[in-house]
Structure 1
Amino acid sequence: MATVDIKVPDIGDFDEVAVIEVLVKVGDTVKAEQSLITVESDKASMEIPSSQAGVVKEIKVAVGGKVKEGSVVLVLEADGAQAPAPAAAPAPAAASPAAAAATPAPAAPAPAPAAASGPVEVKVPDIGDFKDVSVIEVLVKVGDTVKAEQSLITVESDKASMEIPSSAAGVVKELRVKVGDVVNIGDLVAMLEGTSAAAPAAATAPAAAASAPASATASAPTPAAASPSPAATTAAAAPAHNPTVAPTGKLPHASPSIRKFARELGVPLDEIKGSGLKGRITQEDIHAFTKAVMSGAASTKAAAAKAPVGGGSADGAALGLIPWPKVDFAKFGTVERKDLSRIKKISGANLHRNWVMIPHVTNNDEADITELEAFRVATNKENEKSGVKVTMLAFVIKAVVSALKKFPEFNTSLDGDTLVYKQYYNVGFAADTPNGLVVPVLKDADKKGILQISQEMGELAKKARDGKLGSADMQGGCMSISSLGGIGGTHFTPIINAPEVAILGLSKGQMKPVWDGKQFVPRLTLPLSLSYDHRVIDGASAARFNAYLGQVLADFRRVLL
């Protein structure tokens, strides 16, 4: 495949803009129109999309660097599915979020009206092919005196945030929009009592090409460029209350994708201190804040205002719980403080969410693996020279696939009120690493034998220990397995890995006396702990699933049936 340089398209009149976020890494597979980097001018932050699909071979930019039109962002190994090239237009059009939104291109100035002119309507100028862009900040209030070209509101699409300037100078007499509203070209923003001069005559900014958010300012009417792709032109409409924007004060320093992520979680960005360049809020900051609120270590201002007398965390107050204890541990003896690893910060929030939101029930059972263990030992002796070591977990994965086929409701995910039945069999397994627990996913386990499963498990486990697992290695699971067999324990309650509906826990196998109808005989038994989502699976189905799993492990010939 040929390599292709992905360059910064036309971003308007800006000479250089700062890179504040790199959204991909080497080895990632990107689609045409997928955002690659976020850049920022003094007026707008914008995401630069890829002009075609492929695999990232080299990244040419870094956070804090500067780019301009024509700068190489990265090198792709193209897959041949190139995005359509933008049509030529006499005025600048970008395949990126419109930086032109930040500085309107003035046309020939209009004649200045007489002093103390009457009311002036300030409307949304041409912002390209976007419809229903969200108002995320109102920058003025009634009574303010504004200058021509002074920003009045900030709007946001799914690719860019942009400021809408005033077309005239004057005093704000009435505001017709508020945070959370959606606006389109021609919508009335404010009524001004005009002063001595109006702004240069507004003109239409060119529409962006291929996924570009268009200019949010006025410029001379020109033919529009090729329309952006549907994915790029879908505006993210905000709810009536936008938790990512402070009621007063400056807009939080975050890219459009981060603000959208915060809105989806209901996180108030104005209460987060950014750890990125120039205080920029990152996705890790949102994860950390969410975890702190859910654990009771922090609370949002809104929740604190509603907290009962005596205090309480955001969630604790809502549940009527007392506050999380604040203890000076050092007064009892020597202590050492260590930050949680990045993996534990992310997985902790996910585990807490899953435990709170999913009604867990755990079914405990045991499987007789005496013959299977003997077969495993013999198999390893036969394959000593291959370097592949077969573990009991490989057999359990194959048995789980057989159980998923027999009980398809376990191979589902909830999507709102819809149950999604999967026709593939990908099994995740928990891997313990120095930085925390991760769950790599073994793909298409139904199409692989025990030796191949063992080999791929070993490779994924090594990548996990080395910190080299990619996001694709941990996605697409149907059901997960958490094995503590090598450590100990009899039974436990594993937490379901959403959006899956069940997880299997394995404890340490033990020799037990089992009655065979005539006498007690020693048998090796494996404890099985099956946690399931009670919204999808009832107790009888879970008991049958676990019992069938035990039958397969006791006589592995059943996988052939």
Structure 2
Amino acid sequence: MAELKEARVPDIGGHGDVPVIEILVKPGDSVTQDQGLVTLESDKATMEVPAPFAGIIKELKVKLGDTVSEGALVAIIEVTTSAAAAPAAVAAPVDPVPAAAPAKPATAAAPAPAVVESGAPVPARAPIAEPGQSGIPPMRFDADAVLPNKVPYASPAVRLFARELGVDLAQVTGSARGGRIGKEDVQSFVKAALAGGAVAAAAPASGGGNGLNLLPWPKVDFAKFGGIESKPLSRIQKISGANLARNWAMIPHVTQFDEADITALEDLRVSFNNENAKAIAAGKGSKLTMLAFLIKACVAVLQKYPTFNASLDGDNLILKQYFHIGFAADTPNGLVVPVLRDADQKGVAQIAREMGELAALARDGKLKPEQMQGGCFTISSLGGIGGTKFTPIINAPEVAILGVSKSEIKPVWNGEKFKPRLMLPLSLSYDHRVIDGAAAARFTSYLGQLLADLRRAML
């Protein structure tokens, strides 16, 4: 016996009005449970809406370019009696619950270099204009207004919408849950302004015509110098770029550079992988990476120095009792930051396995929103590519990020003679409003001690 059932958008991490960028099925297609029906693209990643049960597609309720939220009807599926018995992950239409308000420790993904929480990413006061958007009115940069408890609560799309209209979101009252500002609130504000009830346009800062009193972005006809090709940025690149610019402008960054002797640790890693080569090749084990050891070591340092495992909330510092570590993943569409949860409760082998799974999902654009949320501390590793050191941008609302470059054999004085040692460059960027230089130096020094001898982490 056949039965018609609804497939709806499941929990997508509180995102609303997410565009449909790909239709994966058509009416008449047979689908299995968890098979993708459509692909959505949020601010930080693409995700598929899975079929909650097996059956035949009778009708599609969305089309390419539509925007949907949690609980939106995607398709009508005809299921047989046996298939209907399978549990259906159908979410009733509900008001999307924000993943986090900017006034609270946000969840994310992002970058990282920074990415976003997005993973995010955390909503910004106003996205930084891209080249060629000089017609968008600037926002005045106010140092007092960038404190987390004073940043308007709105999505990046609403922020851009307000910026295009010249609306200062600090003057708009949100009507959605938790005081979130929606497009309707911005439109109402503009109507009131036109009627003489408000001042909609943000007063531009004096100087170069942008919010930071800088010179205008140069307008150049590149074609007159030679051949060019115009290539649009991916959605992730555009969102991440705006968030990186916000984080760099609003957070007083300082970077502490250091080195760690990983000679013994690298020997251990190589020995383990060699001993388990057959199991790893057969897919019964995970190859240990230096990043897995770094995550484990960083958890121990965060436990010793809890200020680094915190977020700024107005005049309060939120100290977290959990240890979710984000790591920057390079994908064809840009950088994203998957979050490995409860790293303090996992061994290095399990961390390596879960990292591999998350990185594969990131490359395929299948990371779920919750897999990029809740990060406490981010690691950006360029060791597989090269370089000696760099200044990673903090992934707000975190207060620090660790950059790792390519290890190098160096002569190190042991008190009697120089010996060749494998040294790993460390670059720790931190929020100077929360962390001072002495604390940062202690952080990298202790991290170096742990990497030189991980047995210390058990003490």
TM bucket (normalised to shorter chain) is 0.5 to 0.7
* Cα 1:331–1:412 shift into 2, 3 Å: same
Q: Residues 421 and 79 of structure 1: is their aligned pair in 2 closer, same or farther, counting only changes over 3 Å?
A: farther
In 1: Cα distance, 2:326 partner to 2:348 partner: 15
Give 3-state SS (helix, strand or coil) of 1:498's partner.
coil
Alpha-carbon distance, 1:435 to partner: 1.1
Q: Specify which of 428, 436, 439 is matched with residue 538 of structure 1.
A: 436
Q: 1:534 to 1:260 in 2, by over 3 A?
A: closer
1:554 aligns with 2:452: yes
> CA 1:373/1:73 → structure 2, altered by over 3 Å: closer, same or farther?
closer
Q: Which has the higher contact order (CA 8 A, sep 6+)?
A: 2
The amino acid that maps onto 1:312 is: G
- Name which of 195, 210, 213 aligns with 1:314: 210
The residue number in structure 2 matching 1:62 is 62
Q: CA deviation at 1:342?
A: 1.0
Out of 155, 162, 165, the position equivalent to 1:268 is: 162
Q: 1:418 to 1:6 in 2, by over 3 A?
A: farther
- Asked whether the 8 Å contact 2:261–2:448 carries over to 1, the reply is yes
| DSSP 3-state at the match of 1:365 | strand
Q: Decide whether aligned partners of structure 1 residues 418 and 374 sit closer, same or farther in structure 2, where only a CA change above 3 A counts.
A: same
User: Does the Cα contact within 8 Å between 2:12 and 2:368 map onto a contact in 1?
Assistant: no
Q: Mark the CA change 1:4 to 1:451 in structure 2 (over 3 Å): closer, same or farther.
A: farther
Q: Give the equivalent residue in structure 2 for 1:415.
A: 313
The residue that corresponds to 2:403 in the other structure is: 505
SS at match of 1:437: strand
What is the aligned partner in structure 2 of residue 461 from structure 1? 359
Residue 329 of structure 1: aligned partner: 222
Q: Is the 8 A contact 1:29 1:56 kept in 2?
A: no
Of 369, 374, 377, the residue aligned with 2:262 is 369
Distance 1:384 1:542, change over 3 A: same
Partner in structure 2 of residue 444 of structure 1: 342
- Helix, strand or coil at the partner of 1:314: coil
1:341 aligns with 2:341: no
Q: Which residue of 2 aligns with 1:491?
A: 389
Report the secondary structure of 1:467's partner residue.
Answer: coil
Letter in 1 for 2:394: I
Q: TM-score, normalised by structure 2?
A: 0.61
Change (3 A) 1:542 1:487: same
TM-superposition CA deviations, 1:264-285 (whole Å, max 9, x none): 748527639xxxxxxxxxxxxx
Change in 2 beyond 3 A, CA 1:429/1:545: same
SS at match of 2:264: helix
2:165 is matched by which residue type in structure 1?
E
Deviations 1:101-144 (A, max 9, x none): xxxxxxxxxxxxxxxxxxxxxxxxxxxxxxxxxxxxxxxxxxxx
Looking at structure 1, the residues matched to 382 and 251 of structure 2 have their Cα atoms a distance apart, in angstroms, of 23
Structure 2 CA distance, aligned partners of 1:462 and 1:389? 14
* Inter-partner Cα distance in structure 2 for 1:35 and 1:307: 32
Q: 1:423 to 1:529 in 2, by over 3 A?
A: same
Helix, strand or coil for the counterpart of 2:52?
strand
What SS does structure 2 have at the residue aligned with 1:528? strand
Q: CA deviation at 1:4?
A: 11
For 2:113, the equivalent position in structure 1 comes to none
SS at match of 1:512: strand
* Letter matched to residue 370 of structure 1: T
- C-alpha separation between the residues in 2 aligned to 1:443 and 1:549? 20
CA distance in 2 between counterparts of 1:435 and 1:363 reads: 30
Determine which structure has the larger strand proportion and give its number: 1
Over 3 Å counting, the alpha-carbon distance change for 1:261 and 1:4 in structure 2 is farther
Contact 1:313–1:324 (Cα < 8 Å) also in 2: no
Equivalent position amino acid for 2:246 in 1: R
Contact 1:442–1:457 under 8 Å retained in 2: yes
* Corresponding letter in the other structure for 1:323: P
How much does 1:491 deviate?
Answer: 1.1
Matching residue of 1:28: 11
Distance (Å, rounded) in 2 between the aligned partners of 1:523 and 1:37 = 50
Cα deviations by residue, 1:204-260 (Å, 9 ceiling, x for unpaired): xxxxxxxxxxxxxxxxxxxxxxxxxxxxxxxxxxxxxxxxxxxxxxxxxxxxxxx96
Question: Which residue of structure 2 lines up, in the alignment, with residue 357 of structure 1?
Answer: 250
For 1:474, the aligned partner's letter is: M
After superposition, the Cα gap between the structure-2 partners of 1:448 and 1:72, relative to the gap in structure 1 and judged at 3 Å, is closer
Aligned to 1:150: none
Indicate the percent of aligned positions where both proteins have the same amino acid: 59
Deviation (angstroms), 1:394: 0.5
Shift of 1:471: 1.1
Hey, what's the Cα distance between the residues in 2 that align with 1:504 and 1:263?
Answer: 30
Checking the alignment, whether the CA contact within 8 Å between 2:338 and 2:358 is kept in structure 1 is: yes
Question: Which stretches of structure 1, 4 residues or longer, exceed 2 Å deviation after superposition?
Answer: 3-7, 27-31, 34-38, 55-61, 71-80, 259-272, 305-308, 311-314
Task: Note the C-alpha offset of 1:302.
Answer: 3.8
- CA separation of 1:96/1:426 partners in 2, compared to 1, >3 Å: closer, same or farther? closer
CA distance in 2, matches of 1:468, 1:425: 23
Map 1:154-303 → 2, pairs under 5 A: 261=155, 265=159, 267-268=161-162, 271=165, 302=201
**Residues 464 and 262 of structure 1: CA distance in aligned 2, closer, same or farther (over 3 Å):** closer
Q: Per the alignment, in what secondary structure is the counterpart of residue 394 of structure 1?
A: helix
What's the CA shift for 1:524? 0.5
